[in-house]
Structures are given as C-alpha cells and as structure tokens.
Structure 1
Amino acid sequence: MDAGADTTGKLLVATPLIGDGNFERTVVLMLAHQEEGAAGVVLNRPSGMLVSDALPQWAPHLAPPSTMFIGGPVSNESVVALARVRQDPDQGWWTPVLGLVGTLDLEADADEVANAVDGVRLFAGYAGWSPGQLEDEIESGAWFVVDAHPDDLLTEDPGDLWPAVLARQPSPISWFTHYPTHPSHN
C-alpha cells in the first residue's frame, strides 16, 4: 500500500521495527485518515478495568471480553466505542468504519440502541498521528497496512489477534507470525 494512501477501515499491524512500547505487537483499526492527521484504536489491548465500573449502561451490550480496552496513548480519559450493528441503522448515533462495524456515540440511549447492535467494545483513549507522521512511519517499515476482517474488530480473543492477522497475509508478511517476543532469546 502507498504510504500516502487513506488507511480508514484498514488495520495497521505493528512490525518489529515499531520502536514504541505503546504499539509493540498491536493491531490498530484506523477510524480516520485525513490531511489533518490520522486516528485509530488498538484492538488487542484489554485492560483490567471492567466497563461496568466506568459506563454501566453499556455493560449488557458488550462483545466479550467485557473489559475496557486501551485504545492508544492519546487522551486516555476519553472513550471511543465500536459497535457491530445488525443492519445499517441510518441513525446519527452510529458511523460506519468497515461493513457493519462503526463508531458509536456514547451519548445515545443504550437501551434504545440495544436492539440494533450485536456487540459494543469500549476503548480508553486512541492512537493518533499528526499530519504526515503515519505516512512516515509506514514508509520506514513500522507498520504493515492490511485489510481488516470484520471478525477482527470485536474478536473474543484479542491476545491472539496480532499473529492471526499476520498469518493470513501473503509472504513475506506472514513470516512475522512466529517472530519471537524477544529476538535475543532466539
């Protein structure tokens, strides 16, 4: 993929060259990519905090696991919500990102939204890039940009998402599936 291409709806998969502990072995769903910058959420970093403690009205609607996820290092006090809908609700509370998964406005009434959604996931913070920053990181080899599979977005097994996404890519990207956590131990 061209480093300057729009990555909205794509996955960024951290390569071993990432050089930033915030993103080591992460998979990021890109929510927006514009001239002003880019933003996404880390899909595979569940936290120990239960959503029922922070936003109890959304707890019954969560896709498992029912924990708050760490969406990225930017604005950790804010919450970004993803929701899988049964069909495009054509409502102001949902904005599509990929297929039937999109962002959910947490100001919406959780009980009214319940009949339209199959699952919700909440993220504390997000990943953000200033203009040109993400393009530079992609160009330097810090990220693989790959197509998202709808099941990736609300996976029940976020700990295995990084190798699973890599494994379904063509060679040589798929070779990184078995890249050791600590290359010095190889």
Structure 2
Amino acid sequence: MTEVASLTGRLLVATPVLADPNFDRAVVLLLDHDDEGSLGVVLNRPTQVDVSDVLAQWANLAGRPPVVFQGGPVGLDSALGLAAVPGESEPMGWRRVHGAIGLVDLDVPPELLASEVGGLRIFAGYAGWAPGQLEEELAEGAWYVVESEPGDAFSPDPSRLWRAVLRRQRNELAMVATYPDDPSMN
C-alpha cells in the first residue's frame, strides 16, 4: 500500500459541488490523517447548546461564541475539546496536533490548563474517513485542501469562515468565495 502524505493540520474546504448536506460549505480541520484513515472537526457548525449546559467546568475557557459546535456526523454523543496553547509548553491534559492547536482531555480538571490556554472550542462528534476514503473524495473534487491559520479553529464568526478561508487564497480559489449560496439564483 502506498504511504499517504499527511494532511494533519490542514483545512478541508467543501467545494460548491459537494452534495453531502453534512458538509455543505464546511471547513474541516484535519486532526489526524495517515494510511489508517482521517479524522477532523467541522469548524463552522455552531449549535444552540451552550458549553455551560453540557460541560459547565469548561465554560469559562470557551471562546466566542461559547457554544458547542457540531464537529461532524460521527459520534455526536461524544465531545472533543480543541485548544490553542501558544509557545512550546505542553501542559498536562493537552496533546499537540499541529502548531499551537491540540486536543484537550476533557476529563482533566480545567484548572490545570486555564493559565496556558489561548482559546478553547468544544465539538460534539467528528468527521471521519476510512483508509483511502478521503483520497477518493479529493480525487473527485469534493474538497479543496488549504493551509490552516491559528485563528481558524476559534473564529468568532464561524458563519463567515468558508468564504474567509477561500478569500485569503492567492489563486483561483479566492474567486470561489463569491459562489452564490443558491446557484440556481445566479
């Protein structure tokens, strides 16, 4: 089997032709990508559920908006914590994924991380792909793969993230940001 070049830490941006409603205009941060499959979280699907309603102990560290995000269609009854920890430190209860972004062990007391965390977001569920599945979707043109920026995971205005990520690209992808929500209205 051919070894997969890791896309961990990069963004998958749904193309306008992606037909799966779970990923319509989605921006996914890949947390793990190798020859065993891929796992990520959708960054721009806030729910109406406050973090304080489900994980009260973490509510004070949650960024704006302080709600739970739907990380994807898989495992909606589980929670993932994503946090930014600037610098080189790796506090207990946090595992670096890419750059300053890492996964939080939500069973650890938040006080152990509070002084280190520069941003926190809670996700219900995740997006997952079996080995080779994401590569097939990429070959079909379902996703654009772009570099992530530190603020993407904690965007205060997630409804604009899809357009913002595309707009900052220095190629023809910047034009895709102007694609109408409903192409039939074009």
TM range (shorter): over 0.9
Deviation at 1:98, TM superposition (A): 2.5
Letter in 2 for 1:55: L
Deviation at 1:96, TM superposition (A): 1.4
Aligned identity (percent) is 48
Report if aligned partners of 2:10, 2:147 keep a CA contact under 8 Å in 1. Answer: yes
Gaps of 5+ in 2: none
Structure 1 counterpart of 2:185: 185
Structure 2 counterpart of 1:78: 78
Letter in 2 for 1:93: G
Structure 2 counterpart of 1:132: 132
Distance between the aligned counterparts of 1:110 and 1:42, measured in 2?
23
Report if aligned partners of 2:91, 2:116 keep a CA contact under 8 Å in 1. Answer: no
Q: After the TM superposition, which of the residue ranges 103-112 and 20-29 deviates more from structure 2?
A: 103-112
Distance between the aligned counterparts of 1:84 and 1:37, measured in 2?
24
What SS does structure 1 have at the residue aligned with 2:23?
Answer: coil
Structure 2 counterpart of 1:49: 49
What SS does structure 1 have at the residue aligned with 2:65?
Answer: coil
Q: After the TM superposition, which of the residue ranges 84-93 and 69-78 deviates more from structure 2?
A: 84-93
Deviation at 1:17, TM superposition (A): 1.8
What SS does structure 1 have at the residue aligned with 2:60?
Answer: helix
What SS does structure 1 have at the residue aligned with 2:151?
Answer: helix
Distance between the aligned counterparts of 2:24 and 2:97, measured in 1?
24
Report if aligned partners of 1:87, 1:116 keep a CA contact under 8 Å in 2. Answer: no
Return the TM-score normalized by structure 2.
0.95
Deviation at 1:173, TM superposition (A): 1.1
Distance between the aligned counterparts of 1:25 and 1:138, measured in 2?
15
Distance between the aligned counterparts of 1:66 and 1:184, measured in 2?
35
CA-to-aligned-CA distance 1:94-152 (integer Å, 9 cap, x gap): 11122211111111111221111122100000000011000000111000000001011
RMSD: 1.1
Which consecutive segments of 4 or more residues in structure 1 shift more than 2 A? 86-92
Aligned residues: 183
What SS does structure 2 have at the residue aligned with 1:19?
Answer: coil
Deviation at 1:92, TM superposition (A): 4.1
Gaps of 5+ in 1: none
Q: Counterparts of 1:70-149 in structure 2 under 5 Å? A: 70-149=70-149
Q: Counterparts of 1:24-63 in structure 2 under 5 Å? A: 24-63=24-63
Letter in 2 for 1:110: P
Structure 1 counterpart of 2:67: 67
What SS does structure 2 have at the residue aligned with 1:80?
Answer: strand
Structure 1 counterpart of 2:7: 7
Distance between the aligned counterparts of 2:89 and 2:82, measured in 1?
14
